[in-house]
Chains A and B, each alone.
Chain A
Amino acid sequence: MAVCTGCSLLCDDIEVTLESGRIARTKNLCRKGLGRFRSLYSERASPRADGSEVDVGDAISRAAEILSGAKRPLLFGWSNSTLEAQQAGIALARKLGGVIDDTSSFCQGPLMELVIRGQMPTGTLDDVRNFGDTLIYWGSDPTSSHPRHMSRFSYFPRGEKLQKGFEEDRTAFAVDVRESPTAKIVADGYFQIPPGGDAEFIEAILSVLDGKMPKVQDKKRMISFVTTLKKAKMGFIFPGLGLVYSLKDRLDLFSQLVARLNEGVPFRVIPMVGHYNMRGFNQTLFEQTGGINQVSFADGEARRGQENGIISALDSCDAALVVGSDPVSSLPAAFARKLAKIPVVVMDPHRNLTADLARVVIPTALSGLEAGGAALRMDGVRVELAPVVEGASPSDAEVLARIREVV
């Protein structure tokens, strides 16, 4: 069985048939996972330095030169790398006295931080399958982002205590601005809110919990919803970017809601992190430095601060190493322009926009398919990855170790 690194579910039941060393057939992959497996054979990166094709060794030397010559290098990416590569990346940042950050910085970071610090009750996806009878997909659409979430863990499967599955034993809700495919599945459990309306929706739930009338259009429906939540044997909330981006500095309101629900029944939170090992990076950096992202090692000491998050750091960093990420695609153009102005080194299995403007490109193995290692699933469960095929490129961890040797 192979593990799919297409998202943070890390599905470990993928059957692969090889023919002449190439993947010929697979079973159990979702559409997104199939895309990840097929990407083995499309748009692969090739080694480049200063506009010329070079060999990997020369690309690594040039990368080391750029990074050691920088006063404040930014080491960014990491959510699509193994735990081993993340550890090697943190060691390199430490040696360079640089700044290290990952995509969680403008993604699920604020919520993940609460989970990792133990300030938000959480559980595993196996708990969800076995005991999760009341589910809220909030600002998330697993059908699109984590396609097997509902079938392997949360809604459709039978569980230890939920032998009748979604037909009788599970009740699911979706809170979203868009009637997503997930919202359509939960049907009557869908609450449509206006963009930015999450805080108001939380306040409405809190009102009902306080025995007051909620300030929403359909008061009866809201009261019935909260009554269901109060009867949960084991509730789970799956917050997506919709909730995090909407609340931003008001995440305490969400914490307040979860705490209130837990006064009556157990309610757990599993953030719907996108990339396969974002949680791994956050946890690894937290264990080593006390910060889940946005850490600087200047002057040999680890310091956490917003100035080290990519959004702010692009104003102060004078070079960047980007590993397994494409910030030129994923950042607003205003920030991508800032990245385009400094020397960039890219380590990635594929060609992407950041690689196209980079001064150095080092092709790497596609983890889980061409390189092994380990990763943390969205719920923190460790999953071992074993290579399925032989690739031509070194792993992230190997390249990072080689750069570290020469900087």
Chain B
Amino acid sequence: MAELSVLVVTFRDIFQSEAQEAGRYGEEYRKASALILLDRGDADRAGIKDGSAVTVASDAGSVVVNAGVDQESHPGVAFMPNSPWSNQLVSGQVGPSKIPEFKRIEARLSSASGPVLKIEELLLGIVQG
């Protein structure tokens, strides 16, 4: 696939919230969270298929998630459910408001560098980081 630059905006999804309540260690929560929703034109240009794994990298870090192709058009913008996966990409640098940039993350997508990590593996990365 060709590299793709996007602005990532995180959002809340009711199915993800339900899955989190049911169990944040479960496969359902991972599926609903480790996800990036792309504009169809962007996905086509970069050669990204719906459901394929991609690496999303920002200046703060990188994470492997599954790509989804949206029905709605939003070129240059990608949406990720707010979760420990998206939080790998949010910068630790904050401005005067001290609110992290959860909803404006400059990121690059490339071929998946590995599998989508389980939540326990993300935690291990945080503890060892």
Contact = CB atoms under 8 A, between A and B. Distances in A.
Are A and B genuine complex partners?
A: yes
Interface of A: 6, 30-32, 34-36, 38-39, 42-43, 105-106, 110, 141, 143-145, 147, 177-181, 194-196, 241-242, 244-246, 248-249, 274, 306, 309, 311-312, 326, 328-337, 340, 351-353, 356-357
B18 A35 contact: yes
B92 A332 contact: yes
A216 B102 CA distance: 26
Contacts of B24: 43, 326, 329, 352-353
Given A147-B14, A195-B104, A329-B83, A42 B22 contact: yes
Interface residues of B, number: 49
A248 B91 CA distance: 16
B94 to A, nearest CB: 6
Contacts of B61: 333
Contact of A306 (B91, B98, B102, B125): B98
Contacts, number: 146
A38 B22 contact: yes
Contacts of A145: 12, 14, 17
Contact of B123 (A38, A195, A334, A356): A356
A180 B101 CA distance: 20
B116 interface: no
Given A42-B23, A144-B12, A195-B104, A31 B97 contact: no
Contacts of A42: 22-23
A337 B98 contact: no
Given A34-B18, A39-B22, A143-B14, A110 B97 contact: yes
A144 B14 contact: yes
B42 to A, nearest CB: 15
A42 B72 CA distance: 35
B9 A195 contact: yes
A28 to B, nearest CB: 16
13 contacts: A32-B17, A43-B24, A105-B98, A177-B77, A177-B103, A242-B103, A274-B12, A326-B24, A333-B61, A334-B90, A353-B123, A356-B123, A357-B123
B129 A337 contact: yes
A170 B19 CA distance: 33
Contacts of B88: 333
A309 B94 CA distance: 12
Interface string B74-101: 1001010011100110111011111111
A332 B129 contact: no
B123 A328 contact: yes
Contacts of A38: 21-22
Given A106-B99, A329-B87, A331-B87, 15 more contacts: A31-B14, A39-B22, A106-B98, A144-B12, A145-B12, A177-B103, A195-B7, A195-B9, A311-B99, A332-B87, A332-B92, A333-B60, A333-B84, A335-B92, A336-B87
Contacts of B120: 356
Nearest to A35: B21
A333 B23 contact: no
Contacts of B91: 332, 334
B23 A245 contact: no
